[in-house]
Amino acid sequence: MRRQNPDLWSFFRSVVAHQELILRLAKREVSQRFQGSVLGIAWMLLTPLLTAAVFTFVFSAVFQTRWGGATPTGPFDFAILLLVGMAVHGIFAEAVGRAPTLILSQASYVTKVIFPIEILPVVAVATAIVNAVITVAIVVVGQLLLNGVVHWTALLWPLVIAPYLIFVVALVIFFSACGIFLRDLSQIVSLLITVTLFLTPIFYPLNAVPGAFRTLMRLNPLTSIVEQSRTVIVFGGLPDFFSLALYTVCSLTALALSFWLFQRLRPGFADVL
């Protein structure tokens, strides 16, 4: 097998060169997800709405979780804040959750030398973005109907989410490569997804966390993106550009290391499969 270039630029060149293939595969995965169901694509709207309704009842009515300060605390406002957090975590949960078996489930592609298997993690993240965009669209419409306002800063959300997407792609590349050799990785990743769901300020505000643990929680790579997404979409504030720049540098570093490992392990994929 021809030796693959492990540098980050070769990864970006491959993504750009195969962008049409990535879009085609992502579109196929989205359409196949609801193929044969009665409601079809309507589930993409119903799923986040029903999930938010259940979590809103549990955390706002049962546990009586409240956002402090000037933030609205009504059940519908709680649902809007919750949906933003779920949109961000949903990308992580869907894409990273598939990662350990991503290459395993596409074993036929590994034996085809001409197929660029390094784009499969990008396809997984692209598919996950669809649900997040729909969820954010629901939030924007909800803001308009409930509060009569749509903040122009919501247009900055792609800028907030971009470095996060790079980070998620890095994780998917890493776990997809390791998952071929470590079959128990699926269970570990499932646990990781559950842990991040509750250790990210999705169901509660960050200022509700005791000071001794707040700094530790800020180290969670999802925390900053959830907080800044709420800032630009719900509260109409500007993002922290310095924080996003630092996040981008860290994400690109993680991507470079993950892709290097992926390419180093790649020659052994076919043997294990």
Whether 248 is covered by a domain: the verdict is: yes
Helix 157-181 and helix 120-147, axial crossing angle in degrees, nearest 10:
140
Mean pLDDT of 30-44: 69
Helix %, strand %, coil % of the chain (to 5): 80, 0, 20
Q: What is the pLDDT of residue 55?
A: 73
142-173: pLDDT as tens digits: 888 878 889 999 999 999 999 999 999 999 99
DSSP 219: T
Q: What is the pLDDT of residue 65?
A: 61
Whether 106 is covered by a domain: the verdict is: yes
In 10 A of CB 28, how many CB atoms?
Answer: 12
Q: Residues with Cβ < 8 Å from 265, sequence gap 6 or more?
A: 177, 178, 180, 181
Q: Hey, what are 182's tokens?
A: 């470590």
The burial of 112, by beta-carbon neighbours within 10 Å (0-12 exposed, 13-18 middle, 19 or more buried), is given as exposed
Q: Does residue 70 have a pLDDT over 70?
A: no
Specify the residue for token string 């996950």. 128
Q: Hey, what are 192's tokens?
A: 């990781």
Q: Does residue 40 have a pLDDT over 90?
A: no
Q: What is the pLDDT of residue 1?
A: 45
CA 172 – CA 92 distance, rounded (Å): 9
204-255: pLDDT as tens digits: 888 888 887 888 888 999 999 999 999 999 999 999 999 999 999 999 999 9
DSSP 30: H
**Cβ distance 179 to 173 under 8 Å?**
no
Q: Which amino acid is at 262?
A: F
Whether 270 is covered by a domain: the verdict is: no
Whether 205 is covered by a domain: the verdict is: yes
Q: Hey, what are 105's tokens?
A: 């489930």
Whether 272 is covered by a domain: the verdict is: no
Q: Hey, what are 272's tokens?
A: 């294990």
Whether 62 is covered by a domain: the verdict is: yes
CA 175 – CA 191 distance, rounded (Å): 14
Full residue range of the structural domain in which residue 137 is found? 8-265
Whether 244 is covered by a domain: the verdict is: yes
Q: Mean pLDDT, the chain, as a whole number?
A: 86
Mean pLDDT of 120-140: 92
Whether 271 is covered by a domain: the verdict is: no
Domain count, the chain: 1
